[in-house]
Amino acid sequence: MDVDCQPEDSFKEDCVVHGNVKDMSLEAEAVVKDVLFAVDEMHVSQSLNSASDVAYINVETREGNRYCLELTEAGLRVVGYAFNQVDEDLNTQYHETVYSLLDKLSPGYREAFGNALLQRLERLKQNGQ
pLDDT tens column, 2-30: 344 444 444 444 444 434 446 899 999 99
Beta bridge partner(s), residue 71: 55, 76
For residue 75, being part of any structural domain is answered with yes
C-alpha span between 114 and 112 (Å, rounded): 5
* DSSP state letter for 39: S
Name residue 63's amino acid. Answer: E
What is the total count of domains within the chain?
1
* CA–CA gap between residue 30 and residue 26 (Å, rounded): 6
Q: Classify residue 1: in a domain, yes or no.
A: no
Please, which pLDDT band fits residue 37 given cuts at 50, 70 and 90?
A: very high
For the domain that residue 60 is a member of, what is the CATH number? 3.30.2280.10
Q: How many CA atoms, within 13 angstroms, populate the side-chain half-sphere of residue 38?
A: 23
Looking at residue 129, what is its pLDDT? Answer: 65
* pLDDT, tens only, 77-108: 999 999 999 999 999 999 999 999 999 999 99
The whole-model pTM stands at 0.77
Q: Which domain holds residue 85?
A: 7-128
How far is it, in rounded angstroms, from Cα 49 to Cα 39?
A: 23
The answer to whether residue 2 sits within a structural domain is no
79 within domain boundaries: yes
Residue type, position 71, single letter: L
All residues at 6 or more sequence positions from 16 whose CB lies less than 8 Å from its CB, including other chains: 3, 4, 5
Report percent pLDDT > 90 for the chain.
66
